[in-house]
Structures are given as C-alpha cells and as structure tokens.
Chains A and B, each alone.
Chain A
Amino acid sequence: MTRDVADQPAPVLHRDWRSRDAWRGTRLGLWAWLLQRAAAVALVLAIVLHLRNPFLRPIQAIVLGLVLLHGLLGLRAILLDFGLPVRLHQALFIAALLLGVALYALAWWWRWY
C-alpha cells in the first residue's frame, strides 16, 4: 500500500476557473489582460464582418468599441513596460476603460449624429 502511494506523483492543485472561489482570487490585472485578449479575438471577427459590408453601422460601432478597448489596454501595457510603477496598473486599467467610454461617446456623437 505504502509502495503504491509512493509510486504515484503527488497531485498539484490549480485554480478551477469554473468555481466561484477561483474568481474571487482574480485581481484587476488579470481582468485587464483577459479583456485585452478577448477584444483582440473579437476584433478579428468584427473586422471580417466590417470588410464584407463596411457601411453597416452596428458593425462599425462594434469595431470602434473593440479597437478602443484593445488599443487603450495596449497603451496601458506599454506605459508599464516603459517604467510606470506597477502599483499604478489598476488605476491605469480603470482610466483606460473610462477613456474608452468617453472616446466612444465622442466618436458616436461626432460621426453619426
């Protein structure tokens, strides 16, 4: 019995992302990373749709939103890469989201209405 147990590699726990407990440990930095990557994937699809019919306003609106989200979060990463202290990363994430909303509203107002 002891020999059998000793022969087995010990299991290693990882976060089970399907559980509520795992997401409780998720900080804003991970959300920023996830959002930026998700926006990149969605952007590929949206651009394909946009190229198929560049005059559809709903698709234009989606592309604009995704570009702002992906680009501004990328800018946040670049600022951190270039030496802004990491303690500012959460503030930068929130600032990127707020700036994105503001620019979106401005573009919406300026371009379409």
Chain B
Amino acid sequence: MIIRVFRWRPEAPAARFDEFPVEAGEGTTVLDALVGIRETRAPDLAFRYACRVGMCGSCAMVVDGRERWTCRTRLRPLARQGATVTIRPLYHFPLVRDLVVDLQPFVERMKAAGAAFVPGGEPPEATLPERPAIDAAIECIGCGACVSACTMVRWDPRFPGPAALNRAFTLLADGRDAGATGRWTTVFGEDGVFRCHGQAQCTAVCPMELSPADSILRLRRKATRSLFLRT
C-alpha cells in the first residue's frame, strides 16, 4: 500500500504530498508506519507523538479525511478501503512543519471559555448531584481532533469550539465553581454555543468517545432556561 504524507516547511512553503510504499502487518499502526518512513526514507519528516498508547493525544492527525490518533489507527482496515492512505496535519491550526501544528489557538479558545476551575466559598463535596453529567464530559485530553473536525471553527474565529465548550459545560454544571459569570459572556455570547450547527462532527471523531455536541446542547438548554428562570 501507499502512504501519502503532507509535507510543508516554513523555509520552502510550497506544500506537497510525498508517497511512500509501506508493508502493513496485522498490528501496524499509522504511527508505526510514519516512524518507519522517518527512520529509513525521510529523516526530515516531522510529526508529533509521545505516549504511543492512546493516552496523550499528541499524535492526532487527519488520516483519510478523518481526525484520528495515529497510534490507535491500524493501517490494514484503511488499506482495505483504498490502496492509498492520505495523512495530513489537523485542520484549523497553524502549520509548524509537515504534520506538526501549533496548538496555541486551542489553548487560547480554552482560556477564552474560562477553562480553569474557580474555587467558590463552599468546601468540595465527595459527590455532587451534577456528577453523572460532568463525568460524561470530563475526560478530554486536548488532542484537538474535535476542533479540526468542526466546520464552525472554520467560519467563525471567535467560536470557542467543541473542546472549550465541553470544558465550559463541565464547569458550569459544577456547583462548586465560582467562575460562571466570566464564562457566561463567551459561552452564551453571539459567537458562543448558538453558533454551533449541531453537525456532531466533533462527537463522531472524538477518540475519547466524549460527546461535545451533547455538552453544547446542554449549555443551550441552560441558556434557554435562564430566560425564564433564575438559575
């Protein structure tokens, strides 16, 4: 099979695809193939990875049109769908080099949506009544796959994006958090949850199997309730 790899470097900014024939074993992952290519044929190929076991999320890329963790994506099933597998960097992030992108905009969107817990006056409780809803959304590790898959991020640079809104939901649902006032402005502002088109692309690609789309809909219901009730 053939792997087509996106190549770009700042000092020679014309993007191109390089093709590499690879032999895929039963358990060969996309990341294994990239490591092999770099070791034997393209020593200057840049890509990012760390844990290699699906815990850190740093190897997120667009493989055959879909955001995936390359360390958890096997080549053989992809090869069955087509002889060529195309690997690109995540969309909507500034390119650093080849398959590496700058995740700073992800951090900025998180900050804008008030991603940090603000301690309130009440002491923490062992179990909160909101805990089941929060649990379903709290395991985000910030790989950026959902932001890359979101079409609204493309069209509205002020839209916080699925990961930041998902995080905002976990904090707004947490009765101990005291940062709701500042968070409210971004989350429920003109460029906030109501800009989401509900396509659920974020949920479809989330490797952690979270559902940012559900979190966004919960935020919308919260905003709607606030029109009628003091919440």
Known: A12-B94, A14-B91, A22-B65. A27 touches B10 (CB 8 A): no
A87 to B62, alpha carbons, bound, how many Å?
A: 22
Q: Closest CB-CB distance, B62 to chain A, in whole Å?
A: 7
B197 cross-chain contacts in A, Cβ below 8 A: 33
Q: Closest CB-CB distance, B151 to chain A, in whole Å?
A: 7
- The B-contacting residues of A in range 70-97, CB under 8 angstroms, are 77, 80-83, 85-87, 89
Asked whether, in the complex, the Cβ of B86 is within 8 Å of the Cβ of A21, the reply is yes
A26 cross-chain contacts in B, Cβ below 8 A: 65
Asked whether, in the complex, the Cβ of B211 is within 8 Å of the Cβ of A15, the reply is no
Main secondary structure of the interface of B (DSSP, over half): mixed
Residue tally, chain A, CB below 8 Å to B: 31
Tell me if B177 counts as interface (CB < 8 A to partner A). Answer: no
Which residue from B66, B154, B203 sits with its C-beta under 8 Å from A24? B66
A9 to B13, alpha carbons, bound, how many Å?
A: 11
B200 cross-chain contacts in A, Cβ below 8 A: 27, 29, 86, 89
Asked whether, in the complex, the Cβ of B154 is within 8 Å of the Cβ of A15, the reply is yes
- The A-contacting residues of B in range 34-75, CB under 8 angstroms, are 62, 64-67
Tell me if B109 counts as interface (CB < 8 A to partner A). Answer: no
Q: Closest CB-CB distance, A73 to chain B, in whole Å?
A: 11
Contact size range, B: 35 or more
Q: Closest CB-CB distance, A30 to chain B, in whole Å?
A: 4
Asked whether, in the complex, the Cβ of A30 is within 8 Å of the Cβ of B86, the reply is no
B160 cross-chain contacts in A, Cβ below 8 A: none
> Contacting chain A: which of B21-29, B119-127, B184-192, B214-222?
B214-222
Residue of A nearest to B4 (CB): A21
Mark B192-231 against chain A: 1 for CB-CB distance below 8 A, else 0: 0000011111011000000101100100110000000000
Residue of B nearest to A20 (CB): B65
Asked whether, in the complex, the Cβ of A30 is within 8 Å of the Cβ of B214, the reply is no
Asked whether, in the complex, the Cβ of A81 is within 8 Å of the Cβ of B217, the reply is yes
Residue of A nearest to B66 (CB): A25
Known: A12-B93, A30-B201, A86-B200. A25 touches B220 (CB 8 A): no
Q: Which residues of B contact A (CB under 8 A)?
A: 8, 10-11, 13, 15, 62, 64-67, 86, 88-96, 102, 149, 151, 154, 197-201, 203-204, 211, 213-214, 217, 220-221
Q: A21-B64, A85-B211 are in contact. List 8 more A-B contacts (CB 8 A).
A: A1-B11, A10-B94, A11-B8, A11-B15, A13-B89, A80-B198, A82-B221, A86-B200
Provide 22 A-B residue pairs closer than 8 Å at the C-beta atoms, listed in order of the A residue: A5-B10, A8-B10, A11-B13, A11-B94, A21-B88, A22-B65, A24-B65, A24-B66, A25-B64, A25-B149, A26-B65, A29-B199, A33-B199, A80-B198, A81-B217, A81-B221, A82-B221, A83-B221, A86-B213, A87-B203, A87-B211, A89-B213
